[in-house]
């Protein structure tokens, strides 16, 4: 039993998709006057999503009970050509970038790639008749084309990459050599300035701050008073900012400025290396693909 009775969709009877009646009805309602289907594809790993390529657009049918139809007019935006074991092509759709594959009518994705140029060519039927056969000469073949027959696009027009032979691919890889190594951004390190000294130290006084007598005892020098004044006035010990910390902070600031200057140089060199790497990588890919 045929899946589609509509002659515009009769070509899809050879496909394996559209098992649900709701999807078939939605697809039939979405066709315009004179629009003819060419092939259908599976969309990624979705069970209830299918795509139909017509001579005017790519129609996406999503859902079963209440199927929704989305049209992607030609030309199509193909993100990636056929690749992988299933020969799937990545196409930008209203649902995002999806992988189309699994078509029986368009197994090599030639019709889908032709949609990237904005036109889907019909198969050309060329009946050949032998007329005015002259003895001793080759028969003259006369091709009769209809008024609306379209000439099939060439490989260049369809933008289908020509697959190289195994020997040509091996030779291209040998000529390309190793892949250009990606540059790495160097990180500038500051000069070692040592560990930070204590922030405060004891204020040492060699004379009593109360009576002015000279102090020779280290304990009295730290308390800044003599043995008699400490009994009367108590300890006058105090802490002050460490001068060594100020010198250390100055050395650290100079080292930081020098590090920033070296990092600016490394960043400029990295930017140049990135530009050179992109050019070298593009050339390497051209040679490896056999296009150069």
Three-state secondary structure call for residue 174: helix
For residue range 188-229, list pLDDT tens digits in order. 999 999 999 999 999 999 999 999 999 999 999 999 999 999
Comparing 168-172, 259-263, 265-269, which segment has the lowest mean pLDDT? 168-172
Q: Are 197 and 242 in contact (CB under 8 A)?
A: yes
Extract the tokens encoding 148: 């609306």
pTM: 0.40
What is the CA 43 to chain-centroid distance, rounded?
Answer: 21
Angle formed at CA 57 by CA 53 and CA 62, multiple of 5 degrees = 65
What is the CA 207 to chain-centroid distance, rounded?
Answer: 76
Comparing 107-111, 189-193, 283-287, which segment has the lowest mean pLDDT? 107-111
């Amino acid at each position: 039993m045929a899946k589609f009775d509509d002659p515009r969709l009769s070509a899809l009877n050879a496909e394996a998709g559209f098992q649900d009646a709701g999807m078939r009805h939605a697809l039939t309602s979405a066709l315009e006057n004179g629009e003819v289907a060419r092939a259908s594809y599976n969309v990624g790993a979705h069970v209830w999503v299918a795509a139909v390529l017509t001579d005017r657009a790519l129609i996406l049918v999503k859902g079963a009970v209440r199927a929704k139809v989305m049209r992607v007019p030609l030309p199509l935006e193909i993100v990636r050509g056929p690749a992988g074991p299933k020969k799937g092509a990545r196409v930008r759709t209203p649902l995002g970038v999806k992988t189309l594959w699994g078509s029986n009518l368009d197994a090599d994705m030639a019709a889908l790639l032709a949609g990237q140029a904005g036109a889907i060519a019909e198969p050309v039927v060329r009946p050949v008749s032998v007329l005015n056969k002259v003895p001793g000469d080759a028969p003259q073949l006369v091709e009769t084309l209809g008024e609306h027959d379209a000439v099939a696009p060439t490989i260049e027009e369809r933008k289908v990459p020509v697959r190289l032979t195994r020997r040509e691919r091996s030779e291209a890889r040998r000529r390309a050599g190793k892949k250009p190594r990606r540059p790495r951004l160097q990180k500038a390190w500051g000069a070692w300035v040592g560990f930070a000294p204590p922030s405060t130290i004891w204020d040492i006084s060699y004379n009593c701050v109360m009576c002015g007598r000279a102090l020779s005892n280290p304990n009295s020098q730290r308390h800044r008073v003599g043995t008699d004044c400490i009994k009367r006035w108590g300890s006058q010990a105090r802490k002050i900012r460490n001068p060594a910390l100020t010198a250390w902070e100055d050395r650290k600031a100079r080292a930081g400025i020098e590090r920033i200057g070296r990092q600016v140089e490394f960043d400029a060199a990295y930017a140049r290396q990135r530009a050179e790497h992109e050019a070298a990588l593009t050339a390497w890919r051209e040679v490896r693909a056999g296009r150069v």
